Amino acid sequence: MKKTVETEVLIVGGGATGLTASMLLARHGVNSWLVSKYKQTSMLPKAHLLSIKTMEIYRELGVEEAIRAQSCPDAHMRYVGWYAGLAGADPDHGREIARLGAFGRGGEDGDWRAASDNRYANLPQARLEPLLRTHAQALAPGAVHFHHEFRGFREEADGIVATILDRDTGEQYEVHAQYLLACDGGQIVGPQLGVEMEGEAAVATTVSVHFSADLARYGRAHESEDVLNRTILNPETGEPGVLVPMGPDAWGMRSREWVFSMIAAPGDHKQDSDDEAVAKLLRTLGIAREGLQVHQVTRWPLNAVVAARFRVGRAFILGDAAHRMPPAGAHGLNTAVQDSYNLCWKIAMVLRAQAGEGLLDSYEAERQPVARATVDSAYGNWRNAWRIAASFGFSAANGAQQNWQNLRLQWADGPEGEAARRRATQGIGIACSTYHHLNVNYGYTYASGALVADEIPAPASLDSHGDFRPSTKPGHTVPHAWLEDTRGRYSINDLLGEGRFVLIAGEQGDAWCEAARALAAERGLPLDAMTISVREGERFDLRCEWLKRREHGPAGAVLVRPDRFVAWRSMTLAQDPKATLAAALDRILACG
């Protein structure tokens, strides 16, 4: 008889999206079965920046410490910069043209620190995914299967039946599950379901070279130890590229591994050979071939597309299968991980009969608009790269003499130099949407879905990319605050997540807490409740941080979802708190 596996959720794909989903489901007590057709996790180092939200998730899953142990130190990832080449005969080769604080400046940016007690990490995908695999296997022993290929599936009345090939033994077997998560990069499941990708496909081709070399010995390299991404604009060649350190044991310019990506022009689909790509790298950086070890040359099309559907029956589309975008802004992997975080608690509650099936429809309602906005942002960032270079007077159409003449104005005295620097400052201002985008990858909101919307406006952002305004309006990430007791301060984030709802009431909101605890007991809900106030209640906000952000009165309350988004709030105490909260939970959980 054909082998049959019975599980609750089948995960197709063993990248960051699928492995994160496996860990989350295990923490929620849900059985899953993950398959990946590959023998191992990705060897590509292309995705490397892990956002605040992503690191909040990995802290909850117990992976943060392992990631930070290998991550780039904060001191080496505070800025991005633009440089006149890296090395060369001219004394100005390698000279810094401009720099911009980026990704929270290694934890130094006050706005980013106020948003969360967590911060960015920088670890190449090729080193991140083995860590995730190890933790997933520990959380769900026997449930993570590499070199097992998904061949297809059919949906039945009570679940799905998938056919899997064990590529080690050649054995084919079936998996019976309630739900299927397509985390396969859009290779099989989405096309099989007829899900179309909408947007701009293959607008250009990016070529990247992963190599090892000692670049610290060149020119002015030692002057930029606090810079992570370096955009190289060599006046001699007019061929721009981005140079990113990959560690693994030293960072900054002492990094031994690097990735150099050629900046692709719109419509430029030329496929250089590996030798041509390496030759372009040598020309642009101005370095010798001696001492350079090439690990791999990779090419991929630049896409700006979003799936037309994120749910088809019992199948859900996540990660690159749901959205693909240019790397400008470092949103791709982070958006994928946050797809898993949005969906997995909902699946757990439906499987445990704590919520109605309609809760699962909120996944598409919430994540698809966010994906579209993020893809649009990344696509705009990619197109802006050429505008930024042009603001320095750099162009591939210029000759070397003209490029040098224009760039040297950045370091010149007098009116011409001042005017050139003013144009350049306007140029790097464009880059804020790529590197200073707290409101894009942290401040995004849900307009509808598993929440009870209210008509009270949230604080208006003055800049759509950089100006994040925390709010307790339903659909927003819960504002961060530091709380305190006799042992010291702790983050409000320590009280959230872990697959549980949390009701937070003001100092006169005890009735809300009583109602929440009664409903949790009656319905078997993972729902905690507490009061937070300056000098009264169960938790103490001695520095008024929560008070300044809660946006409700002393008898009001907010309900925070397991993924740290506000689901409901009341500005005051209702006449019947239990009935009011019960009605809100029914709407959020689709209980009817």
Q: Check residue 7 and give its pLDDT.
A: 98
Mean pLDDT of 504-532: 97
- pLDDT band for 317, please (50, 70, 90 cuts): very high
Is residue 1's pLDDT more than 60?
no
For 445-589, the fitting CATH number among 3.30.70.20, 3.40.50.920, 3.40.50.800, 3.40.30.120 is 3.40.30.120
Q: Check residue 265 and give its pLDDT.
A: 67
Q: Check residue 355 and give its pLDDT.
A: 97
Is residue 47's pLDDT more than 90?
no
Is residue 508's pLDDT more than 60?
yes
Residue 188, both tokens: 């099989």
For 4-72+118-198+304-377, the fitting CATH number among 3.50.50.60, 3.30.70.260, 3.20.20.70, 3.40.50.300 is 3.50.50.60
Cβ partners under 8 Å of residue 109, min gap 6? 101
Contact between residue 512 and residue 558 where contact means Cβ atoms under 8 Å apart: no
DSSP tag of 22: H
For residue 435, the cross-strand partners are none
Q: pTM for the full model? A: 0.96
295/317 Cα distance (integer angstroms):
32
Cβ partners under 8 Å of residue 169, min gap 6? none
Q: Check residue 217 and give its pLDDT.
A: 87
Which tens digits make up the pLDDT trace of 167-192?
999 999 999 999 999 999 999 999 99
Average predicted confidence (pLDDT) for the chain: 94
In single-letter form, the type of residue at position 362 comes to: S
Cβ partners under 8 Å of residue 82, min gap 6? 96, 97, 98, 99, 230, 231, 233, 388, 389, 392, 428
Is residue 279's pLDDT more than 80?
yes
Contact between residue 285 and residue 211 where contact means Cβ atoms under 8 Å apart: no
Which tens digits make up the pLDDT trace of 361-372?
999 999 999 999
Cβ partners under 8 Å of residue 185, min gap 6? 13, 15, 319, 320, 321
Is residue 553's pLDDT more than 90?
yes
SS3 category, 280: helix
Residue in 564, 566, 559 with CA at minimum distance from that of residue 585: 559
Mean pLDDT of 338-359: 98
Is residue 118's pLDDT more than 80?
yes
Q: Check residue 185 and give its pLDDT.
A: 94
CA angle at residue 391 from 389 to 397, to 5 degrees?
55
Cβ partners under 8 Å of residue 41, min gap 6? 14, 15, 19, 126, 129, 130, 132, 133, 146
Which tens digits make up the pLDDT trace of 125-161?
999 999 999 999 999 999 999 999 999 999 998 999 9
126/148 Cα distance (integer angstroms):
20
Range(s) of the chain covered by CATH 3.40.30.120: 445-589
Place of tokens 């988004």: 565
Q: Check residue 299 and give its pLDDT.
A: 87
Q: Give the DSSP letter string of 405-436.
A: HHHHGGG--HHHHHHHHHHHHHHHHHTHHHHS
73-85: b or e for each residue (b if 16 or more CB lie within 10 Å)? ebebbbbbbbbbb
441/435 Cα distance (integer angstroms):
11
DSSP tag of 515: H
Cβ partners under 8 Å of residue 521, min gap 6? none
Mean pLDDT of 516-528: 97
Four-point Cα dihedral 464, 469, 475, 479, nearest 10: 150
- For residue 3, the tally of other CB atoms under 10 A from its CB is 11
Q: Give the DSSP letter string of 516-538.
A: HHHHHHHHT--EEEEEEESSSSS
Which of 40-44, 142-146, 244-248, 471-475 shows the lowest per-residue confidence on average (mean pLDDT)? 40-44
Residue in 338, 436, 428, 449 with CA at minimum distance from that of residue 385: 428
Is 1 exposed, middle or buried, given 0-12, 13-18 or 19+ CB atoms closer than 10 A? exposed
Residue 138, both tokens: 């520990």
Which of 188-202, 236-250, 255-269, 377-391 shows the lowest per-residue confidence on average (mean pLDDT)? 255-269
Q: How many CA atoms lie within 13 A of 186 on its CB side?
A: 19
Alpha carbon 156 to chain centroid, angstroms: 34
532-556: b or e for each residue (b if 16 or more CB lie within 10 Å)? bbeeebebbbeeebbeebbbbebbb
Contact between residue 406 and residue 398 where contact means Cβ atoms under 8 Å apart: yes
Angle between helix 332-351 and helix 362-391 axes, rounded to 10 deg? 170
Is 384 exposed, middle or buried, given 0-12, 13-18 or 19+ CB atoms closer than 10 A? middle
Contact between residue 44 and residue 126 where contact means Cβ atoms under 8 Å apart: yes
Is residue 18's pLDDT more than 90?
yes
- pLDDT band for 315, please (50, 70, 90 cuts): very high
What is the rounded radius of gyration, in angstroms, for the C-alpha atoms of the chain?
A: 25
Which tens digits make up the pLDDT trace of 190-236?
999 999 999 999 888 889 999 999 999 886 766 789 999 999 999 99
Is the CA virtual torsion 474, 313, 303, 40 positive or negative? positive
Range(s) of the chain covered by CATH 3.50.50.60: 4-72+118-198+304-377
Measured in degrees and rounded to the nearest 5, phi and psi for residue 548 equal -75, -15
- pLDDT band for 268, please (50, 70, 90 cuts): low
Q: Check residue 551 and give its pLDDT.
A: 96
Measured in degrees and rounded to the nearest 5, phi and psi for residue 534 equal -70, -45
Helices and strands of the chain, counted as H and E runs: 16, 27
590/581 Cα distance (integer angstroms):
14
Q: Check residue 45 and give its pLDDT.
A: 80
Is 194 exposed, middle or buried, given 0-12, 13-18 or 19+ CB atoms closer than 10 A? exposed
Mean pLDDT of 109-126: 95
Cis status, amide bond into 562, omega within 30 of 0: no
Place of tokens 């995730």: 132
In angstroms, what CA-CA distances link 407 with 207, 404, 427, 431? 26, 5, 13, 18
Residues constituting the chain: 592
Is the CA virtual torsion 245, 248, 250, 256 positive or negative? negative
